[in-house]
Structure 1
């Protein structure tokens, strides 16, 4: 027996994805779906509402960006506000991730791993001695041939062992967690404006003095010293920061 489709008004000037977003948002705000509750999957929503899976995914991503939902890879999508669906820093959707989603076709290139002397900003962020060395993982993201952002992750030499040269950004958090034996439970992000200077300008294909949005992120495990510090530089002409507040 087929499942009944729920009402979306196809003749309405309001796009189907916006109608669905309003319906799902209403169920969350009203308490029909409570914190930590798993909600229907993309396939189930597509079948229930007679829409494409891509449209369903678009709505779930949007509500996740609004902080109403939490998507956990391999598990499902949950209403935010309860820790039962959390899986640590790997599931964290913060400022950096939301800015990156503005260019979903962008790909990470040029990942480079090196051991370097910690500069003053890194020393302060990771609470290191001034003479400390750190692992630095740097990368650039391009949308086609256009550079969108560039970033660096810094990790203390101790207690982390060598980072493989072929590490990917997606594999880095679990790899670090496995090596220092503790899962990250606190992520602090700072968003600020800056102007570009060489050599970053050359890397991003912009002129010196061009505007940037910079996201600094520090990860901490169980109130101990930070285990990771990163900074990502977004071209100011290609991203914008937008928030939605529901009352």
Structure 2
């Protein structure tokens, strides 16, 4: 005889259905625990188990002193292969945009020389920008690109469709090495990303390679932790 599904799981599934069917929309405050416990005919303890599960899944978001809300869906990046920010946004139905805060060609730092396998006399394009999804700031990015790769491209092409123009030129984009760590936002980053100074951010360092193993981009990015998540796929 099949074991009956626990009550809190049934409530979890029903609440999730309301969200998926847009009965409760993103950003909506859901009814209070008292109202929901009456509605489902269960104790508040049982109801809290369902809400906690939905919170753990990132579907609901609890705000102290305010209530529980349907969470804004986080932008996700699968940590396999090399995919541009623009492609990630478009694949999730988001509108990508960016604001360039700094753009110049310069001598490479020691880390840029190492990551991009450059000679000291070679130069890099160093570009800083804020990247957005549907107008909401998601991350602040510093990208370093060997100057010899892009000296015949326009600034607009590089800042809006870098990966595409590389592929149009016949380059085959391959793997990426990624390192993630947690840190807190500095005053500059907090201002760029419209968050509080000291708020948690995810820091990603990524070196991207062509299929032949040549590195073509070294990026340091800080993501707003509440707006972005990475996931692994084996």
Unaligned runs of 5+ in 1: 1-11, 19-61, 68-88
Q: Given that residues 145 and 218 in structure 2 are in contact (C-alpha distance below 8 angstroms), is that contact kept between their aligned partners in structure 1?
A: yes
Q: Given that residues 134 and 155 in structure 1 are in contact (C-alpha distance below 8 angstroms), is that contact kept between their aligned partners in structure 2?
A: yes
2:195 corresponds in structure 1 to 206
Q: Identify the structure with bigger relative contact order (alpha carbons < 8 Å, sequence gap 6+).
A: 2
Shift of 1:226: 0.8
1:153 corresponds in structure 2 to 143
Question: Counterpart of 2:181 in 1: which secondary structure?
Answer: strand
Unaligned runs of 5+ in 2: 1-12, 21-75
Residues 214 and 134 of structure 1: CA distance in aligned 2, closer, same or farther (over 3 Å): same
1:171 corresponds in structure 2 to 161
Q: Given that residues 177 and 206 in structure 2 are in contact (C-alpha distance below 8 angstroms), is that contact kept between their aligned partners in structure 1?
A: yes
**Matches of 1:163 and 1:207, distance apart in 2:** 37
Shift of 1:165: 1.8
Per the normalisation by structure 1, the TM-score is: 0.50
1:236 alignment partner, one of 217, 225, 230: 225
2:184 corresponds in structure 1 to 195
**Matches of 2:231 and 2:96, distance apart in 1:** 22
How many residues end up aligned between the 2 structures? 165
Q: Given that residues 99 and 241 in structure 1 are in contact (C-alpha distance below 8 angstroms), is that contact kept between their aligned partners in structure 2?
A: no
Q: Which has the higher strand share?
A: 2
Whether 1:122 and 2:150 are equivalent positions in the alignment is: no
Residues 51-70 of structure 1: pairs in structure 2 closer than 5 A: none
Q: Which has the higher helix share?
A: 2
Shift of 1:240: 3.4
Q: Given that residues 97 and 135 in structure 2 are in contact (C-alpha distance below 8 angstroms), is that contact kept between their aligned partners in structure 1?
A: no
2:216 corresponds in structure 1 to 227
